[in-house]
């Protein structure tokens, strides 16, 4: 390099200084991008640090073991008890129930989309699944609270429908899109040769799917399920609104009609009412640490599996599997057994007796008659189930949408959209909440976009894959898997209290920005990677510097992709409640804020309070839910339109 | 032809998306012989091969006219069970495509999907098929290892064993050696020689020496048409058509 520089000086004596300046400039630019990229890692460390800083006292005082295994959570009793065991059990049980509900539906639906659906049906189903992913969690919670819990209350003749069952079904629905899209991707990318090989032997389509395609996609499906588990464990608002929140272990432990409470719900409920610095406050941070560690482990596992798969795909079909073929086969054989047991337990406790008997009978006939049935009948039966799964998923979406839309439409009026709320939100409008939400997301994206784009540019343009990129990518993945309530807690502890910014719009914007940062980084990375290498080489070969190449050749065609990512992030941020709950919002304010240091109203929080704390605001609840839904879906729709528009354009 | 035909095609035409890929192909494939299909890339030989087990059904926008018979039965007749057809007409692909399962499971897959459950019987079929495909000695000690750990040539012989395990009448081979080195190729060619005692083999190949070495009959195709077809010796030594002679002597393609 030095020699080269000397030569440059020799050749271009006159412009020697300019060359030096431009070299320094390049270095400076690179350094700036490096630090933006490092930011994600720093944030993750900071989050962990701050949670530990506030939480470690309780671990020390009560003892790690007592804290984890204590059977009673009574932080406000005269002699407070901080046992989070029931909360951990609650979290695990709710998640387990959600998976029992979601996994069969999702895999069925994924098989339908990848193997059976015609291109036209695919065009309906895939956006429908995306739409399901776009519904804000507080809207899910609202729907669960109004529709699902009353359905459960009436069906099982209970005093209240706020139960483990309700929480599991709701979380299951919310996990559907994640599991469906990741496993659909896994099944679709099984090499075509496997399918041909199996069909050429004379296997039926169903035999090919069940014996070759699904086993070959098994690691991808496993990753999908783990991601779904992560989604379910990290969810706060929806589960808080329907789970009943009694910090007990169900009695007996499979009683899914009992209420229970998760780690996240505990934070959501108690954080707002706790005195800062007390033991209870510290205990909540202890809960957050436990929650964060659980989700980090889960997400790292899923990411590791998916990354392994991706690398394998690049190397072609002769990849070696993560686990040996033999282990995989035995696993599939044994997995059937507990699956069967869970189904059986579920059947006897939840399903009405006639249904249980009917299904059991069908099972018995199936088990003993299987060998006598022709493969054609088996295929017909299997395809019926697969189609049914897809229909159910679609039906869930339709039911939710029609409930919100039909009940929300009457509330929509000019006044509702332009007036501040009156009488605790029972009358008047939601104007300040709409504006507050828009302020929050605009601020969030203004912070996240430069950081995220910078990080992506560093990752794609300035480095080769190595230890540093791996560290940064891991940081981004971890940030992506962090539950939103943990962001809320961190925002409260660090931005609101430590930096003394106070509960304010700015604090909310920063917190939301941290939350959407991974999305911005990932979509920008994708956009940059799609720019052909030859363009860069063409520019560099003309003697352009790296930064000139990036800014004039690489970035312009990547703008649509980056914009799409930004809008998706805005949509996600607009629907979030947990991160802003303790950092930025107030329930009611007649006026708009005049500086970023004042708190604001926001749609998701407004809906949450209306739904849980204000009886008799029925029309306005639905109206708020509909406006929030339309706002979020509107952002997603714009993102999709931008994407499609430029995709068509680039194809010419 | 003197031998009895197992497959005959009568005026078969095929269009992909309206583009003609096969142009009135009529030929007959003699039983228990090796028939080679040769011709330049894109001449339709693989397409014709994939007609015999109706694997073209998997591709959208394909239209076929004409008649193809297997054992005197029209394979496109209404009510034909494609699954049964494919059981009778096995196929080995260009690129070895073992499933990501163990060696044992790869071979046992076919019998299993056709209803064989008994472990002892499966063991027998697996061993016989692997022996028949001349790979038994190389893999007998690691039947539970992943098939993806085998070399390319071993994978291809495993795929042949997988095909043999369902006891087909006809084996289609779509350039089975194009992804293999010369030693592995020689092994597969020896194997084909052995197979014709029990099976009818139809092989598509780019390599004319290979066609001359392994086949009894040869069909030469060009631009979707079957130009000439007959005994291999005759096609290579006294071709009737000028096109065939030009191709064989390397003047084009």
Q: In the numeric block, which tokens belong to residue A270?
A: 């108690």
Q: What percent of chain A has pLDDT over 70?
A: 89
Length of chain A measured in residues: 652
Q: Which has more confidence, B192 or A346? A: B192
Q: Which has more confidence, B29 or A358? A: B29
pLDDT band at A587 (very low <50, low <70, confident <90, very high): confident
> CA A484 to CA A468: how far, in whole Å?
26
Region B98-111: mean pLDDT is 91
Nearest CB among A200, A216, A326 relative to B144 is that of: A326
- The confidence score (pLDDT) of residue A538 equals 83
Region A132-141: mean pLDDT is 93
> CA A129 to CA A184: how far, in whole Å?
11
Q: Which has more confidence, B61 or A652? A: B61
- The confidence score (pLDDT) of residue A353 equals 66
Check whether A60 has a pLDDT greater than 50: yes
CA dihedral A619, A622, A626, A632 (to 10 degrees): 140
Region A434-455: mean pLDDT is 94
Across the interface, whether the CB atoms of A212 and B109 are under 8 A apart is answered yes
Cβ neighbours, 10 Å, residue B235:
26
For residue B56, the Cα-to-chain-centroid distance in whole angstroms is 14
The reply to whether omega before B205 is within 30° of 0 (cis) is no
Residue B39: left (phi > 0), alpha (psi -120 to 50), or beta? left
- The confidence score (pLDDT) of residue A15 equals 54
Number of H helices and E strands in chain B, helices first, is 10, 10
A74's CB contacts (< 8 A; 6+ apart) are A80, A81, A247
Residue A503 in contact with residue A599, Cβ under 8 Å?
A: yes
Check whether B4 has a pLDDT greater than 50: yes
Of all residues in chain A, the one with the smallest CA distance to B114 is A203
Across the interface, whether the CB atoms of A199 and B115 are under 8 A apart is answered no
Work out the minimum CA distance from A641 to partner chain B, whole angstroms: 28
Q: How many CB pairs under 8 A join A and B?
A: 102
Region A282-288: mean pLDDT is 92
Q: Kindly report, residue by residue over B236-246, the tens digit of the pLDDT.
A: 999 999 999 99
For residue A518, the Cα-to-chain-centroid distance in whole angstroms is 11
Work out the minimum CA distance from A184 to partner chain B, whole angstroms: 19
Q: What percent of chain B has pLDDT over 90?
A: 65
A334's CB contacts (< 8 A; 6+ apart) are none
Check whether A319 has a pLDDT greater than 80: no
pLDDT band at A320 (very low <50, low <70, confident <90, very high): very low
Burial of A517 (0-12, 13-18, 19+ CB in 10 A): buried
Domains of chain A from N-terminus onward = 412-652 (1.10.3720.10)
pLDDT band at A644 (very low <50, low <70, confident <90, very high): confident
Q: Which residues of chain B neighbour A197 with C-beta distances below 8 Å? A: 93, 97-99, 159, 162
Q: Kindly report, residue by residue over B154-178, the tens digit of the pLDDT.
A: 999 999 999 999 999 999 999 999 8
> CA A440 to CA A225: how far, in whole Å?
32
- The confidence score (pLDDT) of residue A371 equals 67
Q: Which has more confidence, B118 or A370? A: B118
Region A128-148: mean pLDDT is 93
Residue A230 in contact with residue A354, Cβ under 8 Å?
A: no
Of all residues in chain B, the one with the smallest CA distance to A321 is B100
Across the interface, whether the CB atoms of A193 and B100 are under 8 A apart is answered no
DSSP secondary structure code for residue B224 in this structure: T
- The confidence score (pLDDT) of residue A310 equals 72
Kindly state whether B150 is in contact with chain A, defined as any CB-CB distance less than 8 angstroms.
Answer: no
- The confidence score (pLDDT) of residue A442 equals 95
Nearest to B216 by CA among B232, B192, B197: B232
Give the A-side interface with B, CB within 8 Å.
Answer: 191, 193-204, 207, 211-212, 215-216, 317-321, 324-326, 328-329, 371, 375
Region B29-53: mean pLDDT is 92
Check whether B59 has a pLDDT greater than 90: no
Q: Kindly report, residue by residue over A506-516, the tens digit of the pLDDT.
A: 999 999 999 99
Across the interface, whether the CB atoms of B55 and A196 are under 8 A apart is answered yes
Of all residues in chain B, the one with the smallest CA distance to A328 is B101
Q: Which residues pair with B28 in a beta bridge?
A: B8
Nearest to A552 by CA among A562, A566, A538: A538
Q: Which of A206-215, A247-256, A616-625, B214-223 bottoms out in mean pLDDT, i.e. has the lowest?
A: A247-256
Length of chain B measured in residues: 253
pLDDT band at A14 (very low <50, low <70, confident <90, very high): very low
Kindly state whether B53 is in contact with chain A, defined as any CB-CB distance less than 8 angstroms.
Answer: yes
Cβ neighbours, 10 Å, residue A315:
9
Residue B34 in contact with residue B192, Cβ under 8 Å?
A: yes
Region A110-132: mean pLDDT is 91
> CA A644 to CA A642: how far, in whole Å?
6
Q: Which residues of B162-175 are buried (b: 16+ CB within 10 A; e: fewer)?
A: bbbbbbbbbbbbbb
Nearest CB among B102, B114, B144 relative to A202 is that of: B114
Work out the minimum CA distance from B156 to partner chain A, whole angstroms: 12
Q: Which has more confidence, A437 or A2? A: A437
Across the interface, whether the CB atoms of B86 and A202 are under 8 A apart is answered yes
> CA B53 to CA A298: how far, in whole Å?
46
- The confidence score (pLDDT) of residue A341 equals 63
For residue A132, the Cα-to-chain-centroid distance in whole angstroms is 12
Q: Which residues of chain B neighbour A324 with C-beta distances below 8 Å? A: 145-146
Cβ contacts of B104-107, under 8 Å, gap ≥ 24:
B104/B143, B104/B144, B105/A325, B105/A329, B106/B147, B106/B158, B106/B161, B106/B162, B107/B158, B107/B161, B107/B162, B107/B165
């Amino acid at each position: 390099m030095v020699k080269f520089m000397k030569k440059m000086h020799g050749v271009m004596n006159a412009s020697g200084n300019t060359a030096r300046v431009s070299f320094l400039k390049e270095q400076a630019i690179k350094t700036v991008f490096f630090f933006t990229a490092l930011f994600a890692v720093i944030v993750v460390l900071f989050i962990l640090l701050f949670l530990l800083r506030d939480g470690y006292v309780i671990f020390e005082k009560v003892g790690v073991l007592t804290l984890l295994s204590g059977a009673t959570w009574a932080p406000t009793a005269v002699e407070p008890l901080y046992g989070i065991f029931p909360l951990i059990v609650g979290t695990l049980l709710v998640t387990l129930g959600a998976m029992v509900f979601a996994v069969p539906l999702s895999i069925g639906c994924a098989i339908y989309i990848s193997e059976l659906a015609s291109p036209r049906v695919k065009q309906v189903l895939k956006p429908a699944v995306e739409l399901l992913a776009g519904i804000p969690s507080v809207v899910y919670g609202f729907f669960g609270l109004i529709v699902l819990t009353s359905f459960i209350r009436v069906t099982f003749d209970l005093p209240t429908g706020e139960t483990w069952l309700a929480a599991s079904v709701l979380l299951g629905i919310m996990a559907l899109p994640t599991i469906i899209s990741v496993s659909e991707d896994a099944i679709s990318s099984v090499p075509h040769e496997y399918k041909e090989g199996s069909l050429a032997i004379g296997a039926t389509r169903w035999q090919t799917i069940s014996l070759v395609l699904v086993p070959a996609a098994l690691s991808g499906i496993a990753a999908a399920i783990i991601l779904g588990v992560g989604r379910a464990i990290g969810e706060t608002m929806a589960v808080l609104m329907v789970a009943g929140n009694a910090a007990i272990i169900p009695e007996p432990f499979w009683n899914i009609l009992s209420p229970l409470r998760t780690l996240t719900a505990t934070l959501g409920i108690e954080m707002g009412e706790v005195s800062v610095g007390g033991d209870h406050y510290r205990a909540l941070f202890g809960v957050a640490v436990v929650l964060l560690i659980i989700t980090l482990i889960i997400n790292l596992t899923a990411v590791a599996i998916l990354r392994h798969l991706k690398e394998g795909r690049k190397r072609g079909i002769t990849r070696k599997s993560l686990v040996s073929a033999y282990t995989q086969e035995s696993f599939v054989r044994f997995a059937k057994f507990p699956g069967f047991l869970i189904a059986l337990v579920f059947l006897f406790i939840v399903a009405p007796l006639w249904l249980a008997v009917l299904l059991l009978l069908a099972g018995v006939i199936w088990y003993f008659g299987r060998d006598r049935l022709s493969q054609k009948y088996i295929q017909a039966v299997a395809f019926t189930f697969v189609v049914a799964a897809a229909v159910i998923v679609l039906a869930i979406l339709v039911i939710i949408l029609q409930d919100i839309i039909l009940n929300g439409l009457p509330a929509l009026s000019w006044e509702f959209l332009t007036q501040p709320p009156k009488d605790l939100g029972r009358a008047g409008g939601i104007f300040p909440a709409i504006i507050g939400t828009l302020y929050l997301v605009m601020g969030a994206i203004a912070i996240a976009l430069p950081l995220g784009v910078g990080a992506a540019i560093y990752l794609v343009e300035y480095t080769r894959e190595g230890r540093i990129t791996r560290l940064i990518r891991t940081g981004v993945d971890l940030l992506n898997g962090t539950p939103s309530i943990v962001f809320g807690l961190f925002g409260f502890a660090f931005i609101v209290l430590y930096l003394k910014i106070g509960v304010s719009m700015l604090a909310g914007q920063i917190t939301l920005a941290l939350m959407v940062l991974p999305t911005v980084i990932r979509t920008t990375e994708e956009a940059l990677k799609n720019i052909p290498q030859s363009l860069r080489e063409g520019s560099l070969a003309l003697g352009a510097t790296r930064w000139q190449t990036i800014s004039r050749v690489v970035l312009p065609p990547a703008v649509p992709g980056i914009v799409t990512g930004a809008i998706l992030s805005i949509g996600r941020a607009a629907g979030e409640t947990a991160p802003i709950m303790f950092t930025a919002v107030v329930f009611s304010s007649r006026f708009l804020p005049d500086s970023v240091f004042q708190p604001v109203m926001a749609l998701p929080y407004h809906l949450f309070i209306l739904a849980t704390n204000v009886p008799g605001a029925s029309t306005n609840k639905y109206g708020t839910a509909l406006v929030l839904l339309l706002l979020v879906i509107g952002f997603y729709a714009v993102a999709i339109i931008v994407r499609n528009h430029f995709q068509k354009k680039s194809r010419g | 032809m003197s031998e009895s035909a197992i497959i005959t095609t009568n005026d078969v035409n095929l269009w992909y998306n309206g583009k003609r890929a096969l142009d009135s192909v009529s030929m007959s494939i003699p039983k228990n012989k090796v028939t080679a299909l040769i011709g330049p890339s894109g001449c339709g030989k693989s397409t014709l091969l994939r007609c015999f087990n109706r694997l073209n059904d998997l591709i959208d926008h394909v239209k076929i006219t004409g008649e193809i018979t297997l054992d005197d039965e029209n394979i496109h007749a209404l009510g034909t069970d494609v699954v049964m057809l494919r059981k009778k007409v096995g196929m080995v692909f260009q690129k070895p495509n073992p499933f990501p399962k163990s060696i044992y499971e790869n071979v046992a897959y076919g019998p299993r999907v056709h209803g064989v459950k008994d472990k002892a019987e499966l063991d027998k079929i697996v061993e016989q098929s692997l022996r028949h495909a001349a790979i038994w000695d190389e893999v007998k000690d690691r039947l539970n290892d992943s098939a993806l750990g085998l070399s390319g040539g071993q994978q291809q012989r495993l795929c042949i064993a997988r095909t043999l395990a369902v006891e087909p009448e006809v084996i289609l081979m779509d350039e089975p050696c194009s992804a293999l080195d010369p030693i592995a190729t020689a092994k597969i060619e020896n194997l084909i020689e052995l197979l014709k005692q029990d099976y009818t083999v139809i092989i598509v190949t780019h390599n004319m020496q290979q066609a001359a070495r392994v086949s009894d009959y040869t069909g030469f195709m060009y631009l979707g048409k079957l130009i000439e077809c007959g005994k291999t010796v005759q096609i290579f030594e006294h071709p009737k058509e000028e096109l065939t002679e030009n191709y064989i002597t390397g003047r084009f393609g």
